[in-house]
Structure 1
């Protein structure tokens, strides 16, 4: 009988077939030696794996070794493994010889179905096209053969700025996991590893994200009942005093394999059908799971390994140390300081701070997309290479040949001012591009547009900004100002 090897992101019941099957779980210390992960991410991954070992009892062989290969050398039975989620892990599995590799799990659309869809595109692929295909294929949020409510996307209803009357949304906070002796053991081990020279970034802290399926299910049920109704309208908004907003905080649970995305999709659809959540919120949540999450997973394998080195806009600068090390105290720009502090303190911020504060700033400064893929991978509790490759290279940094999106996600300070409460207490003025109080996002936007205009696609979405660029009489001064600022923290 084969022993099934479970990686630390394959921890839910949907990765098992036989209630009596013998299992293997290996902790590789070398994984943490190779790169400096966020301390809370390392804690979450190890805690989740060890909690799963405790649940499985005698069925699980748990090995703690320097490398995966050292651990596998101790196993005498034939091994089978579900398709890993990284190229490095896949190559390791392939190098082992007599290992049976099963199809991937933890996603909705199969590789065969995605490849059939993608091959028919013959060019640029858009998430919205895939999302419509997946909705039809899996019969999600349909009335007959048409989208529920008559529209495939309700994004236009989900772009509200934050409410002005309160520093927080009026939603109950998500359930907080309770640490136990396994967490205490993990923390002791990480302390010892640091003393031995293994480096982490970010701050340690109480575990904020589920490490067991029971914790993840509790958070999912709470989200569907109490937070999903408010999620949609404000999913793109930011509040300095409310970093969680109405988001689910379940991305790490899906990416550890604690939850099957389809159970969350069907659960969300049920809230719409029974009238307990509006369609705009449900559709927005389903779009993130059935659409975007599956889309970037499949693109990771559909594109070749060189995709993460794409550099359409000629971004050649290294990520500066203050950003790489999460030194939020060095930053005066209120939005960037707060978001970077959120990464430092929690290993998590929601998708708009990632895209429009962190990614937008990096795009404007011309930082290497491949370095940013690695930074997001290491610094976020839900970060994995498959997650970040398309998200960072194709979406955030517009570094591919326009394969994923038709316009860059670049914006001046006016966007942050509209969608957040950050600018009111900032030393910089979002309308100013020149001078000591010039917003680094506003100045950076025009200099970036000037620098990359010959590499940008010609389309209606960019033509207005390019016309405005030609009318700026102070552009030489703004260029000189930004050169002087260089890579220093704003």
Structure 2
């Protein structure tokens, strides 16, 4: 019997999604790929993100050659029907029959697909008759193993640190015998240095960047045409592609990072420099989330660099924690918490996102930190985790923006943003909308933190120490206004109680709150 076709989604592009062992597709399975324009027309994505995804899909199709049936269609349903030459019925109407049965003569499904990365996609394929959903790939921990770990942790919470140690032990990552290499599980305290003063950039090799080709030219032409025809609308700019779109490019980026940038990654992991938005970061989140890299190969290469004496332990541990810890943790919480998690709003924040933020209009923003970071998103669709959390997310939290709208914005505007990525990161980590299911406190601060960890405050029109007046820092004022607005809840939290007590020492609190109330949608 001929092998069943295997459907590849646009974030399942690496070879590990086609390898047959352990519940994979048939060894020589023909491949189906569907480029559905409806995905881009439903919401206003960043133009660079749309370019990257389409470029990666078309590059993968070119690599697969005659093995793939690549369909460009309006919707997934139409594309699937065109690819298979028949209608695939939904389970609810399967009993009515079909001219061409959805199942093979032996009763097995006619099509396989690896577990999709979003609930919407999973619901779609799960409702189709004749489609077998294979286990998820592209992650270190299977769903059933996480479920078993979570059951054991009932009552103690599902905190990252416990999960991270469990993954390290289970996969023998940075372990010496039964204990962590170097004697400590977490070297985060060594990775919080401010940027070197007097330097505009870090003294490290520039990140690896791709070279565009004819496929990128074709993608850009199509996006231009779709915009002209009114089929889609984008935000942001689509300059030269900055992130890998092929397996070969992704491996080149990984090798370059481990060899040239990993040694300096750790100490400045949380720092920001105006002229150096990438610092020592890997820029591997986009190819990882497209499925071009497998997380195991990333952390194993990093550990090999440490064992060979080519990178310090604090840098390697920080990188391993991001991938084997945080990335895995976020992936599994997305599924563990369920669909209702999307609607969590413990702080009852309902303010709409202002137009200047939705449109990435960095030029109307006075606060230098926010203007700089918003411009980075506008121009590249990327910033590293500290600007995301402590500049963009903190602004949204302090101003009380609707967390669902903030989640959608991050999903649309970042090249590495997917539903599974942004839902826990924004609802749980950034906006504290889950009330502490994921983190033990809200992550926000005054201007002093940004001043200490960056060079962004020096030329700014605002002063990080000023709460009121013409030079009041919107982050400093916003921090105290946020504490006041949620005083009762935060006073009962041992991690924020001391900060709340500080409100009683602020003689200018009424003036501060009045200014915050009058600001409205005005850019800070």
The answer to whether the aligner puts 1:66 opposite 2:100 as a matched pair is no
Q: Distance in 2 between matches of 1:454 and 1:366?
A: 16
Match of 1:150 in 2: 183
Q: How does 1:252-291 map to 2 (within 5 A)?
A: 252-291=286-325
Match of 2:88 in 1: none
Q: Distance in 2 between matches of 1:36 and 1:385?
A: 15
Match of 2:193 in 1: 160
SS of the equivalent of 2:133 reads strand
Structure 2 counterpart of 1:42, from 50, 56, 65: 50
Q: Distance in 1 between matches of 2:451 and 2:125?
A: 48
Structure 1 counterpart of 2:418, from 375, 380, 384: 384
Q: For residues 314-367 of structure 1, what are the alpha-carbon distances to aligned partners after superposition, in whole Å with 9 as ceiling and x for unaligned?
A: 111111111011000110100000000000000000000000000011100000
SS of the equivalent of 1:26 reads strand
Q: Distance in 2 between matches of 1:442 and 1:195?
A: 43
Q: Identify if the C-alpha distance between structure 1 residues 6 and 441 changes in structure 2 by more than 3 Å, giving closer, same or farther.
A: same
Q: For residues 75-107 of structure 1, what are the alpha-carbon distances to aligned partners after superposition, in whole Å with 9 as ceiling and x for unaligned?
A: 148211000000110111012111000000000
Q: How does 1:186-225 map to 2 (within 5 A)?
A: 186-197=219-230, 198-225=232-259
Tell me if the contact between 1:410 and 1:445 (Cα under 8 Å) persists in the aligned partners.
yes
SS of the equivalent of 1:46 reads helix
- Mean Cα displacement is larger for which, 71-80 or 157-166? 71-80
Shift of 1:273: 0.6
Match of 2:116 in 1: 84
Consecutive unaligned residues of structure 2, counting only runs of 5 or more, are: 21-26, 86-101, 103-109
Q: Distance in 1 between matches of 2:5 and 2:300?
A: 32
Q: Distance in 1 between matches of 2:133 and 2:330?
A: 22
Q: For residues 291-312 of structure 1, what are the alpha-carbon distances to aligned partners after superposition, in whole Å with 9 as ceiling and x for unaligned?
A: 0000000111111101021111
Structure 1 counterpart of 2:444, from 384, 396, 410: 410
Structure 2 counterpart of 1:29, from 26, 29, 37: 37
Q: Distance in 1 between matches of 2:208 and 2:431?
A: 34
Shift of 1:73: 1.1
Match of 2:509 in 1: 475
Shift of 1:196: 1.5
Shift of 1:114: 0.5
- Mean Cα displacement is larger for which, 467-476 or 423-432? 467-476
The answer to whether the aligner puts 1:443 opposite 2:477 as a matched pair is yes
Q: For residues 261-285 of structure 1, what are the alpha-carbon distances to aligned partners after superposition, in whole Å with 9 as ceiling and x for unaligned?
A: 1000100000111110000000000
Q: Distance in 2 between matches of 1:292 and 1:343?
A: 22
Q: How does 1:101-140 map to 2 (within 5 A)?
A: 101-123=133-155, 124-140=157-173
Shift of 1:174: 1.5
Tell me if the contact between 1:313 and 1:456 (Cα under 8 Å) persists in the aligned partners.
no
Shift of 1:457: 6.1
Q: Distance in 1 between matches of 2:481 and 2:301?
A: 46
**Structure 1 stretches of at least 4 aligned residues deviating more than 6 Å after TM superposition:** none
The answer to whether the aligner puts 1:374 opposite 2:408 as a matched pair is yes
Match of 1:100 in 2: 132
Q: Distance in 1 between matches of 2:377 and 2:435?
A: 30
Q: For residues 51-82 of structure 1, what are the alpha-carbon distances to aligned partners after superposition, in whole Å with 9 as ceiling and x for unaligned?
A: 00000000000000000000111214821100
Q: Distance in 2 between matches of 1:117 and 1:369?
A: 29
SS of the equivalent of 1:266 reads helix
Q: Distance in 1 between matches of 2:334 and 2:295?
A: 18
Shift of 1:483: 1.0
Tell me if the contact between 1:312 and 1:455 (Cα under 8 Å) persists in the aligned partners.
no
Match of 2:16 in 1: 14
Shift of 1:17: 2.2
Consecutive unaligned residues of structure 1, counting only runs of 5 or more, are: none
Match of 2:396 in 1: 362
Q: For residues 19-53 of structure 1, what are the alpha-carbon distances to aligned partners after superposition, in whole Å with 9 as ceiling and x for unaligned?
A: 53210000000001100000000000000000000
SS of the equivalent of 1:323 reads helix
Match of 1:52 in 2: 60
SS of the equivalent of 2:489 reads coil
Q: Distance in 2 between matches of 1:297 and 1:240?
A: 31
Tell me if the contact between 2:8 and 2:32 (Cα under 8 Å) persists in the aligned partners.
yes
Shift of 1:187: 0.2
Q: How does 1:206-355 map to 2 (within 5 A)?
A: 206-355=240-389
Q: Which has the larger radius of gyration?
A: 2
- Mean Cα displacement is larger for which, 479-488 or 60-69? 479-488
Q: Distance in 2 between matches of 1:176 and 1:462?
A: 42
Structure 2 counterpart of 1:176, from 209, 226, 239: 209
SS of the equivalent of 2:71 reads strand
- Mean Cα displacement is larger for which, 374-383 or 19-28? 19-28
SS of the equivalent of 2:463 reads coil
SS of the equivalent of 1:232 reads coil
